[in-house]
Amino acid sequence: MSEQPASTAQPPLLNDGIELCWQTDTSPATKRLAHRILRRELTPAIATRLIRTNGADPHTLVGLREKAPGEWPHTKWVPLLSLAIDDPTDSVPSVWRMDLDLETPLLLKPWSSRQLQRDILEALISCGANVNFHHPAHFSMRAMSVAAKTGNIEAVEVLLATNQLDYLSCPSISPPLRPSQAYDDALIRTARRLLHHDPSLSGLAVLEAATSRPLPSKAFTYEYMDTILQHGDPIPVGVVRTALSEAAGLGSHWVMDYLCERLATPADINPAQGHHPPLQRAAMHLQVLLDEWDGWDGDVDDDMLDAIRNRKLVVRSLLRAGADLSTKVLPITTTGDRKRRELVLKEYVVVLNELPFVVMDAINAALSTQRDAYIVMTRILPFVDHNDEDACLPHPPSPSPLSFGPQEAAAIAWKIGAFLHDPPAALTAVDQVLTNASALKRRVRAAVGHFVKWAATKTVSNREVVGGWSRGPDGQMARVPQLQCFAVDAGQRHTHTQLGVREVVHGARLEEVRQHGLEGVVKGFNNEEGNDDCQFQWGRLGFVGQTGQQWVSLGIN
pLDDT digits (tens, 9 = 90+) for 42-58: 999 999 999 999 999 99
Q: What is the pLDDT of residues 71-85, one digit of tens each?
A: 566 788 999 999 999
Q: Which sign does the torsion angle of CA 37, 41, 47, 50 carry? A: negative
* Averaged pLDDT for residues 259-277: 88
Q: How confident is the model at residue 285 (pLDDT cuts 50, 70, 90)?
A: very high
189: number of Cβ within 10 Å: 14
Domain membership of residue 264 (yes or no) is no
Q: If pLDDT is split at 50, 70 and 90, which confidence band does 442 have?
A: very high
**pLDDT tens for residues 342-391?**
999 999 999 999 999 999 999 999 999 999 999 999 888 888 777 666 66
Q: Is residue 267 a part of any domain in this protein?
A: no
With respect to residue 238, please indicate whether it lies within any of the assigned structural domains: no
| Average pLDDT rounded to a whole number, residues 7-20 | 61
Which residue would you say has higher pLDDT here, 468 or 175?
A: 175
Instruction: Look at residue 176 and tell me if it is in a domain.
Output: no
pLDDT tens for each residue of 403-418: 776 678 888 999 999 9
> What's the whole-number mean pLDDT along residues 314-326?
95
- What's residue 388's pLDDT? 65
Q: How far apart are CA 304 and CA 281, in angstroms?
A: 18
Quick count: other Cβ atoms within 10 Å of Cβ 536? 18
**Domain ends where: 108, 141, 167?**
167
Which amino acid makes up residue 94? S
The pLDDT score that the predictor gives to residue 550 is 83
Bridge partners of 400? 386
557 vs 555: which has the higher pLDDT: 555
Confidence grade of residue 5 (pLDDT, cut at 50, 70, 90): very low
Find the mean pLDDT for residues 189-214: 94
Mean pLDDT, rounded, for 219-248: 95
Higher pLDDT, 230 or 70: 230
Q: Is the pLDDT of residue 200 over 70?
A: yes
**For residue 106, what pLDDT is reported?**
84
**CA end-to-end distance (rounded Å), the chain:** 69
Contact 190, 148 (CB under 8 A): yes
Please indicate, yes or no, if residue 249 is contained in any of the structural domains: no
pLDDT of residue 37 exceeding 60, the answer is yes
Cα–Cα distance measured from residue 289 to residue 311, given in angstroms and rounded to the nearest whole number: 9
Q: Which residue has the higher pLDDT, 214 or 486?
A: 486
CA-nearest of 128, 134, 192, 132 to 165 is 132
Listed residue (556, 444, 431) closest to 509, CA to CA:
444
The reported pLDDT for the residue numbered 297 is 61
Handedness of CA 293, 299, 301, 302 (dihedral sign): positive
Domain end (from 146, 167, 188): 167
> Is a pLDDT exceeding 60 seen at residue 518?
yes
Question: Which structural domain range is residue 160 located in?
Answer: 1-167
Q: How many CB atoms lie within 10 A of CB 284?
A: 16
pLDDT at 291: 87
Share of the chain above pLDDT 70, in %: 89
Q: Coil, strand or helix: which one is 499?
A: strand
pLDDT confidence of residue 10: 46
Q: Does 447 reside within a domain?
A: yes
Contact residues for 109 (Cβ-Cβ < 8 A; gap 6+): 40
pLDDT greater at residue 407 or residue 441:
441
User: End of a domain among 113, 137, 167?
Assistant: 167
Tell me what pLDDT residue 276 has: 83
Q: With a cut of 90, say whether residue 108 has pLDDT above it.
A: no
Does the residue 139 lie in any domain? yes
Instruction: Give residue 546's pLDDT.
Output: 65
Which range, of 6-10, 252-256, 499-503, 537-541, averages the lowest pLDDT? 6-10
Kindly indicate the confidence band of residue 254, based on its pLDDT and cuts at 50, 70 and 90: very high
Residue 9 has pLDDT above 50, yes or no: no
Three-state SS annotation for 425-482:
HHHHHHHCCCCCCCHHHHHHHHHHHHHHHHHHHCCCCHHHHHCEEEECCCCCEEEECC
Assess whether pLDDT exceeds 80 at residue 269. yes
Report which secondary-structure segment, H or E, holds 267. Answer: helix 266-269
Domain total in the chain: 2
Is the residue at 261 inside a domain? Answer: no
Mean pLDDT of 191-212: 95
Averaged pLDDT of the chain: 88
pTM of the model: 0.86
Does pLDDT of 1 surpass 50?
no
Treating both helix axes as pointing N-terminal to C-terminal, what angle do 237-250 and 302-320 enclose, rounded to 10 degrees?
140
